[in-house]
């Protein structure tokens, strides 16, 4: 296993188990260079591969990346189409590349809106990586934190209606059990590059006690050194989870 460089050794003891990343700033990165937004997404996708491999190499157990939100359909049709093609391309590559890597891929979000081809690819890659025992890579696509909670509440409502559970039995555990991240630990650390300071509907339930790190760097420029910086900052945080 590759490990963080010696000078960062102190990170080892306080390495987050689960990291969430909001990949933001592709459009601005392209604009700064006089390129179309699609070039920013392409560069962002390459960086996503690099950061994923790095996280897996240093021993992160869960990585959740925000690739497409329930609100991103509002973008121009051409940009949405480009992103969908990029996702298809990535999954095809992942199907061959990731055979060698011990990474499990799970998609978080409502798949019903995707093309049949994309839905099939998603099923295929989830199935193919199911037995992997290394890092779990969650790709949040057509994902919204509020939408996820609404779906969980509806599902519990159905169970109440059928008499399977009583309303009194509904608790935090039963709600968490209905989320896309069911069975996974909550993110310890959420990183948002690009200089925006908000969660934008990302892991709303799961982020209750996540440490948040906002960085003034656009996603395609976000390097493994920037990740190390965030990990160093995380290791100096005092997490109290409401205690003292």
Look up residue 222 and give its DSSP letter: -
Residues in the chain: 244
**DSSP H or E run through 146:** helix 145-161
Among residues 19, 23, 58, 137, the one that binds ligand FPP under rule CB under 6 A: 23
The yes or no reply on residue 53 touching ligand FPP (CB under 6 A) is no
Position 8 contacts ligand FPP (CB under 6 A):
no
All residues at 6 or more sequence positions from 222 whose CB lies less than 8 Å from its CB, including other chains: 47, 51, 193, 215
Please list the active-site residues.
24, 72
Among 8, 14, 17, 28, binds ligand FPP (CB under 6 A): 28
Show the site string, 81-110: x = touches ligand FPP by CB under 6 A, - = not.
Answer: --x--xx--x--------------------
Taking the CA atoms of the chain, what radius of gyration do you get in angstroms? 18
Minimum gap (Å) between residue 243 Cβ and ligand FPP:
35
**Separation between Cα atoms, residue 119 and residue 176, nearest integer Å:** 25
Q: Which two structure tokens, joined as six digits, stand for 31?
A: 């604009």
Closer by beta carbon to ligand FPP, 11 or else 43: 43
Residues near ligand FPP (CB under 6 A): 23-28, 41, 44-45, 48, 67, 72, 83, 86-87, 90, 139
């Amino acid at each position: 296993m590759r490990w963080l460089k010696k000078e960062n050794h102190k990170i080892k003891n306080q390495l987050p188990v689960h990291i969430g990343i909001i990949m933001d700033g592709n459009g601005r990165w392209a604009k700064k260079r006089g390129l179309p937004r699609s070039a920013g997404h392409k560069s962002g996708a390459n960086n996503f591969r690099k950061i994923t491999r790095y996280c897996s190499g240093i021993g992160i157990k869960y990585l959740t990346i925000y690739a497409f939100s329930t609100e991103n359909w509002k973008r121009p049709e051409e940009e949405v189409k480009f992103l969908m093609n990029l996702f298809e391309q990535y999954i095809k590559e992942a199907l061959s590349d990731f055979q060698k890597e011990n990474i499990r891929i799970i998609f978080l979000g409502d798949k019903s809106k995707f093309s049949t081809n994309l839905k099939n690819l998603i099923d295929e890659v989830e199935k193919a990586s199911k037995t992997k025992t290394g890092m779990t890579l969650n790709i949040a696509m057509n994902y919204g934190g509020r939408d996820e909670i609404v779906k969980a509440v509806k599902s519990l409502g159905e169970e109440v209606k059928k008499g399977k559970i009583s309303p009194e039995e509904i608790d935090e555990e039963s709600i968490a059990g209905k989320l896309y991240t069911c069975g996974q630990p909550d993110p310890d650390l959420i990183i948002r590059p690009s200089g925006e300071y908000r969660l934008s509907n990302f892991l709303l339930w799961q982020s209750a006690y996540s440490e948040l790190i906002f960085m003034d760097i656009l996603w395609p420029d976000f390097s493994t050194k920037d990740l190390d910086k965030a990990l160093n900052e995380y290791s100096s945080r005092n997490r109290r989870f409401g205690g003292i």
